[in-house]
Amino acid sequence: MSRRVEVGPSPRVYGVCIHDSAVLLVRATNPHDGGEIWWLPGGGIDWGESPQQTLEREFIEETGLGVTNHLLHSVLDDQRVRVNGDHVHTVRIIYLATVEVAPLQHEAGGTTDFVMWAKLDELHQLRLADYA
């Protein structure tokens, strides 16, 4: 296996969406350490796409919900080494998001396989991504 010394920086966009005391979360299909993990809807910025466009696209892809409003919350970054030896630098842009409340649609064939509204007082029962 070849080892890449550096990957990134990789800009990514995520949205925190809270409705009726629950936060919108998606489950990763292939976490790097093999365990089930939940994270905020979002993902990588495509070439020529603005962060806001990425947020809207990723919410549709991963949840089936359209974003109606968003407000920049924070920008985070981290550097880590994946199990395959890749050194990764990720920059995450986090928005507070409002969505059109509708039935959730699970992503098929993507980086997530399940979406849910998780009650805020039950989050301690889930394994969450460090930025969620």
> Which tens digit of pLDDT belongs to each residue from 30-39?
666 667 889 9
Is the residue at 2 inside a domain? no
Q: What is the pTM of this model?
A: 0.86
Q: What is the reported pLDDT for 4?
A: 59
In terms of residue numbers, what domain contains 79? 7-125
Q: How many distinct structural domains can be found in the chain?
A: 1
Is the residue at 45 inside a domain? yes
Specify burial of residue 108 (Cβ count, 10 A radius: 0-12, 13-18, 19+): exposed
Is the residue at 62 inside a domain? yes
Is the residue at 30 inside a domain? yes
Is the residue at 130 inside a domain? no
Q: What is the reported pLDDT for 18?
A: 95
Q: What is the reported pLDDT for 29?
A: 76
The CATH number that applies at residue 109 is: 3.90.79.10
Is the residue at 132 inside a domain? no
Q: 3-state class of 112 per DSSP? A: strand
Is the residue at 27 inside a domain? yes
Q: What is the reported pLDDT for 3?
A: 56
Query: Which residues does the chain have with pLDDT short of 50?
Result: 1
Give the C-alpha distances (Å, rounded to integers) separating 28 from 5, 50, 107, 127.
25, 24, 10, 11
Is the residue at 72 inside a domain? yes
